[in-house]
Amino acid sequence: MRSHAKRLPSRPVILLLQVAVLVGFFLLWHVLTVTTNLLSPFFFGTPLAVLERTIKDFASGVIWYHLGITLLETALAFVIGTVSGIAFGFWFARAPLVSVVFDPYIKAVNALPRVVLAPIFALWLGLGIWSKVALGVTLVFFIVFFNVYQGVKEVSPVVLANARMLGANSRHLFRHVYLPSALSWVFSSLHTAVGFAMVGAVVGEYLGSSAGLGYRIHQAEGVFDTVGVFSGMLVLTIFVVAIDSAVTMAEKRLLHWRPQEAQTTH
Amino acid sequence: MAEAAATAPALCLEGVTCIFPSPDGRGRTYTAVQNASFTVADGEFVSIVGPTGSGKSTLLNVAAGLLRPSEGRALSFGQPVTGINPLAGYMFQAEALMPWKSALENVAVGLEFRGVSKREALDRAGPWLTRVGLDGFGDRFPHQLSGGMRKRVALAQTLIVDPKIVLMDEPFSALDIQTRQMMENELLDLWAADRKSVVFITHDLEEAIAMSDRVLVLSAGPGSRLIGEYKITLDRPRDVAEIRMTPQFLALHKEIWGQLRDEVLKGYAQTKLR
């Protein structure tokens, strides 16, 4: 491994290059579909039509309702999955018998592709938001569960002994030692957890619903509206990027005690 | 009980033997400490020296109540130690600060555990940080402090809850020699202020002699026993760097080293065998 990485250009230059890639991609798309007609606009859409449709949807306001539904499902799946993951993670980590007995079943359920549960949830919970929330929860739960389990198990025995010597009872140990340790693991998997919550929501909507971004993409697909599908994907992408940067901000605030790599300034 | 506490020694180990299941399993056992008995008087500074693997930390864990001896018992101020010894403070060899708490919060946490409100605990932790020379570093997290600073925080964290006996397990062994001597002097100053009992574990004989009233020597493991006891009659207050040059110190060092050397060699042979 080389010790000195090649020097990178400054931030504005990198940003410029990144924008250039985006513009280049749209240009290529435009050339292939409109100018040369190598690809049929019917199957591939055109970038201008997709942008126009997206702006129109936002301007007319129809998209907000669907965005709101997807966001609500994502948030509910994330919160319910995280809280139950933390609770069960703690329980399993502190009760060795439970964890040993349930271990093969947990692994089996986690190995199951969760998408196959979507029809069952739709049957049980109907086509409203709760079947999507349930799907998201099954995805989020296991990520959080395994991280909390690990976090509780990996608490430094010295830190634990020190806290006990300082007079901590079991409630104190939970609040001051186990919980912060476990939460640091949960937060480090926050991106994955939020991402999976959204996957659950969108896939659930796609498979059967009456609202949401997944529903809109499915509707457009059903009538061969390629532009509508791409427009839906574009909105979804913007939505994902926005949520992910919100998570990054939350992470920075919550994990400020963590050492950063090669920290020289604050 | 108050009367008993006034006369009873701060710590009394009676025939303590600790047997552990061997790490390689198969029902074999490993005897770390064999029939160790000693007392530490109220206000006394006692060091225990021994080669690596001689069960020094094991003895300390018994005194702290973190470990139940296989045989024998520990008494602290006349009370049998069952469970965590509430009169003891423990300064660990390894990093024991909570990485998610700032220096100030780490110092305050012991008071919080004892039911002091968070605000009052933080107020009282401030002066302790100043006392260990960390004024203005209260909002730093452990990873933002140097090794010596973390030890100072740990020292304040241990002393703020006013333990009657302080157990120290090679607390300064990870520090460079200058920082270490500074910390040793600061510890002696703090100790002189209110004369708590101290049990100080170290593998460094010079450190043991420079700091203590009495030095106990442990034999090489397995099955370590206490094999020597030396009163250190050097005058106080001491400067740990300067006292090393005095003829009295050198005479004591020579006497104790004569016994310790054999054990160190035995311990070394043991580790080579393993």
pLDDT digits (tens, 9 = 90+) for B86-143: 999 999 988 899 999 999 999 999 999 999 999 999 999 999 999 888 999 999 999 9
Instruction: Categorize the per-residue pLDDT at B269 as very low, low, confident or very high, splitting at 50, 70 and 90.
Output: confident
Q: Is A163 on the interface with B (CB under 8 A)?
A: yes
Q: Is B2 on the interface with A (CB under 8 A)?
A: no
B118 and B233 housed in the same domain: no
Q: Which two tokens stand for residue B224?
A: 């370590």
B63 and B131 housed in the same domain: no
B269 and B207 housed in the same domain: yes
Task: Give the distance from CA B240 to its chain's centroid.
Answer: 17
B199 and B267 housed in the same domain: yes
pLDDT at B3: 46
Q: Which domain holds residue B134?
A: 93-162
In this model, does residue B34 exceed pLDDT 80?
yes
The three-point CA angle A63-A69-A72 to 5° equals: 135
Q: Using one digit for the tens of pLDDT, what is the confidence trace for B39-84? A: 999 999 999 998 877 788 899 999 999 999 999 999 999 899 998 9
B73 and B172 housed in the same domain: yes
B245 and B170 housed in the same domain: yes
What's the total number of domains in chain B?
2
Q: Could you tell me which chain B residue has the CA closest to the CA of A266?
A: B144
Segment A225-237 shows an average pLDDT of 91
Taking the CB of residue B126, how many other CB atoms lie within 10 A of it? 14
* Range with lowest mean pLDDT among A4-8, A184-188, A233-237, B199-203: A4-8
CB contact under 8 A, B113 and A168: yes
Q: Is A180 on the interface with B (CB under 8 A)?
A: yes
Q: Could you tell me which chain A residue has the CA closest to the CA of B166?
A: A165
What's the total number of domains in chain A?
2
Cα-based distances in Å from B31 to B18, B66, B221, B244: 6, 17, 8, 35
Closest CA to A125 of A207, A56, A245, A60: A207
pLDDT at B273: 65
Q: Is A156 on the interface with B (CB under 8 A)?
A: yes
- This model of the complex carries an ipTM of 0.88
A99 and A214 housed in the same domain: yes
Q: Which domain holds residue A213?
A: 46-254
In this model, does residue A162 exceed pLDDT 90?
yes
Of the residues B97, B109, B160, B166, the best mutation for testing chain A's interface (the one with the most A CB atoms within 10 Å of its CB) is B109
CB contact under 8 A, B113 and A172: yes
Q: Is the peptide bond before B99 cis (omega within 30 degrees of 0)?
A: no
Partner residues linked to B198 by β-bridges: B45, B166
Q: Is A188 on the interface with B (CB under 8 A)?
A: no
Segment A92-114 shows an average pLDDT of 88
A68 and A158 housed in the same domain: yes
Cα-based distances in Å from A117 to A128, A132, A140, B49: 16, 10, 14, 64
* Range with lowest mean pLDDT among A2-11, A43-52, A60-69: A2-11
Instruction: Categorize the per-residue pLDDT at A5 as very low, low, confident or very high, splitting at 50, 70 and 90.
Output: low
Looking at this protein, which amino acid is placed at residue B130? T
Closest CA to A78 of A196, A205, A246: A196
Give me the CATH number covering residue A65.
1.10.3720.10
